[in-house]
Amino acid sequence: MSKNKSEYLINRHDNQYEVVIGLEVHAQVTSESKLFSTSATKFGAEPNTQVSLVDAAFPGMLPVINEYCVKQAIKTGIGLKAKINKRSVFDRKNYFYADLPQGYQISQFKDPIVGEGKVILDMPDGQKEVGIERLHLEQDAGKSIHDLDPKNTFVDLNRSGVALMEIVSKPDLRSPDEVNAYIKKLRSIMRYLGTCDGNMQEGSLRADVNVSVRKKGSKEFGTRCEIKNVNSIKFMQMAIEYEANRQVDLIEDGQTIDQETRLFDTKKNETRSMRSKEDAHDYRYFPDPDLLPLVVSDDFIENLKSEIPELPDEKKKRFIEKFKLSPYEANILVSDIETSNYFENVIKKSDVKLATNWIIGELFAALNEKNLEITESPISAGNLSKLINLIKDGTISGKIAKTVFEQMMEGDKDPQKIVEEKGLKQESDPKALETLIDKVIDDNRDKATEYKSGKVKLFGFFVGQVMKVSGGKANPQLVNEILKKKL
Amino acid sequence: MSDITKQSLSQLVENIKSKKLSSSEVTKAFVERSEKSKELNTYITEDYANALNKAKKFDEKPNLDLKLPGIPMAVKDLFCTKDIRTTAGSKILNNFIPTYESTVTQNIWNEGAILMGKLNCDEFAMGSSNETSFFGNVQNPINKNLVPGGSSGGSSSAVAAQLTPITIGTDTGGSIRQPASFTGTVGLKPTYGSCSRYGIVAFASSLDQAGPMAQNVKDCALLQEVISTYDEKDSTSIDFKRNEYSKELTKKIKGKKIGIPKEYRVDGMPKEIEDLWKKGIEYAKDCGAEIIDISLPHTNYALPTYYIVAPAEASSNLARYDGVKYGFRAEGENLIDMYEKTRSEGFGAEVQRRIMIGTYVLSSGYYDAYYLKAQKVRKLIKNDFDQAYKKVDAILTPSTPSSAFKIGEKTNDPVSMYLNDIFTVPVNLAGLPGISIPAGHDAKGYPLGLQIIGKAFDEQNILNIAYAMEEKINFKNNITDWWIK
């Protein structure tokens, strides 16, 4: 598709097109209660059981800002290295829909709580900086359920009023892979901060994707289309690919692109026009007169700064500098807060290099096979640490360790106990090994003679025999040494 | 005691506290008079049986330390009352029964008062004559077929006709002061943020304010002291030191500087109003106040500004009445059709007019020219007052440009109707307290009111000035009970 390995270009005839992508990510704020009411926010509750009079917009009900959600938004802003606006304003975005009880969504339009920031992506050919335009707080709508009844639509207001952060990127993304990396990085930062659980299946993270194309080298942006409410990275990538190609085809065909809102049909893998610019809603934004401007002090922000944990970029740097990990290894280990916590727990009492290899290698493979998250790992960090120490001090060989590891995966057993119970301890007593080796040489006199006459390849045969007779427990290094002497 | 309903709130409180009267006796008297006064159409919902029961219960175990011990009271139907239908004067809430209580009414019940019923008002408080109510016109007890003012027309009529010893209204552009002026009663619009808006059906959130309506200034002060509390449930509620207004009430206003704004001498103002104002100035001087001419240069722009800001907020506040969750619903072919039918049938003409104006001024392309500009002018109007208050302690104006008019006289002329609020609207735009007190009669014998505007949070000062002037004016309302057969 393109000359440069990392460059994503669409070729048509003699033309090469670059794809320009900007994302509006909607991230649900991790909070026990909603943005302007005290209702609970648990996912999967019975319909309409987490709805207050405020959420259902009863007459005379008034919104009261949830300070915790404000803190979460500011923390996220700090994590995005963004400017925190000490004064922000809540506006009403007016439109009618059955699952929007107030007839307006409280959002932030002109004065968001967080201004410009940035996110660093680790791409195969190096780092890339993606600009953040803004982050604002807003209410989620309820849910309309159209498929429970042929005539009626059901409305569930549990989600109505839940706090969302809308994080708007600059149009800095250039490929589906960058979108993938961006979403993952954003998710990672918010999970480190504890401000959004990033659960895309539960809708905690969704995005509107703005796509345009332009001839390579052009400075002007093309006309963009907005693809609404895409809820998985895979679908985002598919939608971008489809949409970019659709736009290129139109241009190549001499047609113009209409600025419009489109929907991604996941079954047909295509985007479809939802409404044109002319039909776009006039949301009649104006400052919500029920709420005063939100003003936060320097102290308030400084206090939150002091609560910010080490974030992935800083952690990665530390892992590389302090533990001599490769950038690749460090990236993998910091990508998720749970993984990095696990890693740091394991290396508290064991060798870093071995721990890195075992976590990235055996553990990830085993978890993957069982479809488990690191938090669900049957092997605790403490026990993996013990296993690594057993290898390090020569109690067991790497090979035996794999057997022990498999048994640990069945349930979080102490590796020391497994080794003892199953008698898997490595035989490292030279005398015992000599006896063993003498017997093997005795039993294979003819081969020993051949070896001595120059058939050195037979050395491997003897090692194998010794290991077999020892039940795999003989210390391979010592076996080599003694065999060399004896033969 | 046949003259129970003629007693002021303060007298009733005293008589109940001294056990000369029981709550049951008082409640029964007001219920009976209310029942004889159906022709005034002041009530939308009556709750007499419950009121009498509550009075009986109160008498069984009277708590006489309360500020409103066993006092029966009807309130404007804009306040949500738990388990009692609350309509806001609209068909769209005809069947709406709240499960919750507004903060202001809760404060009243907490002080021992008893709900008698819900009083008529203009639909969603949009009107100056109570003629936009889905539940029909209210008669002014002053004379047959005279409007009681609006939007708190049921409240003003009920107080003037002595169907309730006192009541509460709401005031977005004059809806307490104008009806008070039309009925010869006292009405206070407190500083924005003084009384919680929680549980009050919203008209224009940045202007709405609840306030007391009474037969005299002292009663007004007592009720203000009860209803004004800081409330965390209303983000615009302000936590300031609230006085015990009735206890601190004094007629000693010697040396108070009272401003007379020249811009309130509007074109075509009836001579009667001009004369009333002059008389008011003399009364104030008699009380020892110093009169100072002032200028509020942006007064002319207050009415147009108000008729942009208030409808803009209303158009959004009323979006929730969509037939989906509660209230009236018309059947439709689909969602949009249901919305259109519900809102066309559920809202009256004036409410629809304001929703349309509000929608228009907020629309993209018009927002800057209307809404944004109106917000800027609003700031200028507030600055006018700030400047004036560097020189004076309060401002004296007429409450309305005319006395009460006939039912039907202005219904086809919305602009002429809107002009009723010309003297009251600037006060709401600036968030200030204002009180209307009866000060005289016009040639027809209809009452006329004077308005005293105060500094923010300075309710005590305007109550004191009103209290002092009230004595000098010695106004007598001429109620003939013409509606009682």
Q: A216-232 pLDDT, tens per residue?
A: 999 999 999 999 989 99
Question: CA angle, B268 as apex, B265 and B270 as ends, to 5°?
Answer: 80
| Cβ within 8 Å of residue B62, ≥6 positions away | B16, B23, B69, B70
Contact B291, B282 (CB under 8 A): no
Residues A349 and A271 in one domain: no
CB burial readout B332-351, b (16+ within 10 A) else e: eeebeebbebbbeebbbebb
Residue A62 with chain B: CB contacts under 8 Å:
197-198, 233-235
* Spatial separation of the C-alpha atoms in residues B42 and B136, rounded to whole Å: 9
Residues A386 and A466 in one domain: no
Total Cβ atoms within 10 A of residue A185: 18
Chain B's closest residue to A99, CA to CA, is B324
The gap between the terminal CA atoms of chain A, to the nearest Å, is: 60
Average pLDDT over residues B83-105: 98
Angle between helices A430-443 and A459-469 (to 10 degrees): 120
Lowest mean pLDDT across A140-154, A155-169, B15-29, B233-247: A140-154
**pLDDT tens-digit map of A34-49:** 999 999 999 999 999 9
Task: Identify whether A4 is part of a domain.
Answer: no
Residues A437 and A400 in one domain: no
Task: Identify whether A357 is part of a domain.
Answer: yes
Cβ pair B364:A282 closer than 8 A: yes
Whole domain around residue A95: which residue ranges? 9-304
- pLDDT at position A2 over 60: no
Cα–Cα nearest to B156, from B46, B42, B48: B42
Q: Residue B440's Cα: distance from chain center in Å?
A: 20
Per the prediction, chain B carries an average pLDDT of: 97
Using CB atoms, pick whichever of B236, B324, B335 lies closest to residue A292: B236
Parallel, antiparallel or unpaired: strands A163-169 and A126-139: antiparallel
* Spatial separation of the C-alpha atoms in residues B252 and B274, rounded to whole Å: 27
Using CB atoms, pick whichever of B233, B236, B320 lies closest to residue A102: B320
Lowest mean pLDDT across A268-272, B37-41, B341-345: A268-272
> In the numeric block, which tokens belong to residue B338?
């249901």
Whether residue A39 is preceded by a cis peptide bond, meaning omega within 30 degrees of 0, is no
Using CB atoms, pick whichever of B98, B199, B359 lies closest to residue A284: B359
Cβ pair B100:A104 closer than 8 A: no
CB burial readout A33-63, b (16+ within 10 A) else e: bbbbbebbbeeeeeeeebbbbbbbbbbbbbb
- At A466 the three-state DSSP class reads helix
Residues A34 and A143 in one domain: yes
Give the residues across from A262 on adjacent strands.
A227, A273
Q: Which long-range contacts (CB under 8 A, 24 or more apart) does A387-394 make?
A: A387/A358, A387/A415, A388/A346, A388/A350, A388/A351, A388/A354, A388/A355, A388/A358, A389/A349, A389/A350, A389/A351, A390/A415, A390/A416, A390/A419, A391/A354, A392/A350, A392/A351, A392/A354, A394/A426, A394/A428, A394/A475
- At B477 the three-state DSSP class reads coil
Q: How confident is the model at residue A3 (pLDDT cuts 50, 70, 90)?
A: very low
**Chain B interface with A: residues with Cβ < 8 Å:** 79-80, 86, 88, 93, 96, 98-100, 102, 197-202, 204-206, 232-236, 312-313, 315-316, 318-320, 322, 324-326, 335, 339, 359, 362-364, 367, 371
Angle between helices A381-392 and A337-346 (to 10 degrees): 40
Task: Identify whether A1 is part of a domain.
Answer: no
Amino acid A73: pLDDT: 98
Q: What are phi and psi of B59, to 5 degrees?
A: -65, -30
Amino acid A90: pLDDT: 98
- Domain stops at, among A289, A304, A319: A304
Residues A295 and A322 in one domain: no
Task: Identify whether A189 is part of a domain.
Answer: yes
Q: What are phi and psi of B310, to 5 degrees?
A: -65, -50
- pLDDT at position A420 over 60: yes
Cβ pair B98:A61 closer than 8 A: no
Residues A212 and A279 in one domain: yes
Task: Identify whether A287 is part of a domain.
Answer: yes
**pLDDT tens-digit map of B329-366:** 999 999 999 999 999 999 999 999 999 999 999 999 99
Using CB atoms, pick whichever of A59, A62, A97 lies closest to residue B235: A62
Within B70-166, strands assigned E span 72-76, 114-119
Chain B's closest residue to A151, CA to CA, is B334
Q: How confident is the model at residue A4 (pLDDT cuts 50, 70, 90)?
A: low
Average pLDDT over residues B397-415: 93
State the virtual CA torsion across B309, B191, B427, B297 in degrees, nearest 10: -100
Please report which helix (H) or strand (E) contains residue B261, including its range.
strand B257-261
Amino acid B450: pLDDT: 98
Residues A452 and A329 in one domain: no
Chain A's closest residue to B326, CA to CA, is A58
* Spatial separation of the C-alpha atoms in residues A187 and A336, rounded to whole Å: 9
Q: Hey, CA dihedral for B7, B13, B17, B19, is it positive or negative?
A: positive
With a pLDDT cut of 70, the percent of chain B lying above it is: 100
* Spatial separation of the C-alpha atoms in residues A290 and A61, rounded to whole Å: 10
* Spatial separation of the C-alpha atoms in residues A61 and B86, rounded to whole Å: 14
Chain A's closest residue to B238, CA to CA, is A292
Cα–Cα nearest to B100, from B4, B194, B199: B199
Residue B96 with chain A: CB contacts under 8 Å:
59
* Spatial separation of the C-alpha atoms in residues A68 and A241, rounded to whole Å: 39
Task: Identify whether A156 is part of a domain.
Answer: yes
Q: Residue B29's Cα: distance from chain center in Å?
A: 24
Alpha-carbon distances of A185 from A7, A117, A126, A251, A440, rounded to whole Å: 20, 14, 15, 33, 57
Cβ pair A61:B198 closer than 8 A: yes
Residues A326 and A449 in one domain: no
- pLDDT at position B74 over 80: yes
Give the residues across from A260 on adjacent strands.
A225, A276
Contact B306, A94 (CB under 8 A): no
Average pLDDT over residues A85-97: 97
Average pLDDT over residues B375-399: 98
Amino acid A461: pLDDT: 87
* Spatial separation of the C-alpha atoms in residues A249 and A191, rounded to whole Å: 39
- pLDDT at position A405 over 70: yes
Does the ipTM exceed 0.95?
Answer: yes
* Spatial separation of the C-alpha atoms in residues B375 and B305, rounded to whole Å: 8
Residue A286 with chain B: CB contacts under 8 Å:
312, 316, 362, 367, 371
Average pLDDT over residues A319-331: 95
HSE-CB for A283 with a 13 A CA cutoff: 12
Alpha-carbon distances of B115 from B27, B75, B110, rounded to whole Å: 10, 8, 12
Residues A298 and A348 in one domain: no
- Domain stops at, among A398, A421, A444: A421
HSE-CB for B154 with a 13 A CA cutoff: 33
Output the furthest CA–CA distance in chain B (Å, rounded): 69
Residues A132 and A268 in one domain: yes
Angstroms from A101 CA to nearest CA on chain B: 6
Looking at residue A330, what DSSP letter applies? H
Angstroms from A290 CA to nearest CA on chain B: 6
Give the residues across from A126 on adjacent strands.
A123
* Spatial separation of the C-alpha atoms in residues A339 and B327, rounded to whole Å: 53
Task: Identify whether A460 is part of a domain.
Answer: yes
CATH of the domain at A474: 1.10.10.410
Chain A's closest residue to B340, CA to CA, is A96
Domain count, chain A: 3
- At A472 the three-state DSSP class reads coil
Parallel, antiparallel or unpaired: strands B114-119 and B186-189: unpaired
Residues A300 and A315 in one domain: no
Lowest mean pLDDT across A193-197, A235-239, A426-430: A426-430
Cα–Cα nearest to B174, from B453, B478, B470, B467: B453
Cβ pair B202:A155 closer than 8 A: no
* Spatial separation of the C-alpha atoms in residues A137 and A108, rounded to whole Å: 6
Using CB atoms, pick whichever of A62, A94, A155 lies closest to residue B316: A94
Amino acid A5: pLDDT: 57
**DSSP code per residue over A23-39:** EEEEEE---SB-SSS--
* Spatial separation of the C-alpha atoms in residues B407 and A278, rounded to whole Å: 46
Q: Residue A58's Cα: distance from chain center in Å?
A: 39
> In the numeric block, which tokens belong to residue A144?
């309309």
Cβ pair A104:B316 closer than 8 A: yes
Looking at residue B382, what DSSP letter applies? H
- pLDDT at position A335 over 70: yes
Residues A26 and A152 in one domain: yes
Alpha-carbon distances of A319 from A313, A328, A373, B200, rounded to whole Å: 10, 11, 22, 58
Cβ pair A101:B326 closer than 8 A: no
Amino acid A256: pLDDT: 94
- In this structure, CATH architecture of domain B7-263+269-296+384-473: Alpha-Beta Complex (3.90)
Angstroms from B93 CA to nearest CA on chain A: 9
Task: Identify whether A2 is part of a domain.
Answer: no
**Which active-site residues of B does the annotation give?**
76, 151, 175
Q: Hey, CA dihedral for B84, B85, B87, B93, is it positive or negative?
A: positive
pTM > 0.90: yes or no: yes
With a pLDDT cut of 90, the percent of chain A lying above it is: 76
Average pLDDT over residues A72-83: 98
* Spatial separation of the C-alpha atoms in residues B406 and B414, rounded to whole Å: 15
Average pLDDT over residues B371-385: 98
- Domain stops at, among A421, A440, A475: A421
Tokens 């936590």 belong to residue: B239
Average pLDDT over residues B93-114: 98
Q: How confident is the model at residue A6 (pLDDT cuts 50, 70, 90)?
A: low
Q: Hey, CA dihedral for A169, A175, A176, A177, is it positive or negative?
A: negative
Radius of gyration, alpha carbons of chain A: 30
Tokens 């619903």 belong to residue: B329
